[in-house]
Amino acid sequence: MKNSDVALGILAGLAVGTIIGILFAPAKGSETRKKIADNGSDLKNLITDSSSQLGEKISQTMNTLKSETQNILGVLEQNNTEEKPNFDHLVEINRVK
C-alpha cells in the first residue's frame, strides 16, 4: 500500500470519527461549534504536516533518481570512450573487404 493511500485513509477516518463524535456528544451548540473549529484546525495542521512530509519524500526521491541517472550516464560515456577505438577498428576492417 502506498504512503499516500495510508495518509488519506487516516485523514478520512479522523474526519469521519470527529464528525460522528461531535454529533452524538451531548453538548451546547457553542461548545459543539468550538469543538468543530478546534478539530478543523487540528485536521488542517495534520494535512499541512502530511503534505510537507510528502513533498520532502518526493524531493529526496527526485534527487536520488537524478544522482543515479548521472552515474549511469557517466558509466555509459566511459564505456563509449573505451569501446570507440574497437568500433573504429571494426569499421576499418570492413572497409578493406
Tell me which residue of 5, 19, 13, 17 sits closest to 50, measured CA to CA. Answer: 5
Domain count, the chain: 1
Q: How far apart are CA 69 and CA 77, in angstroms?
A: 12
Q: pLDDT for 36-90, tens place per residue?
A: 788 888 888 888 888 888 888 999 999 999 999 999 999 999 988 888 888 888 8
Residue 26 is predicted with a pLDDT of 73
Supply 20's cell numbers: 460522528
Q: Which domain holds residue 45?
A: 3-96
- pTM surpassing 0.75? no
Q: pLDDT for 8-22, tens place per residue?
A: 788 888 888 877 877
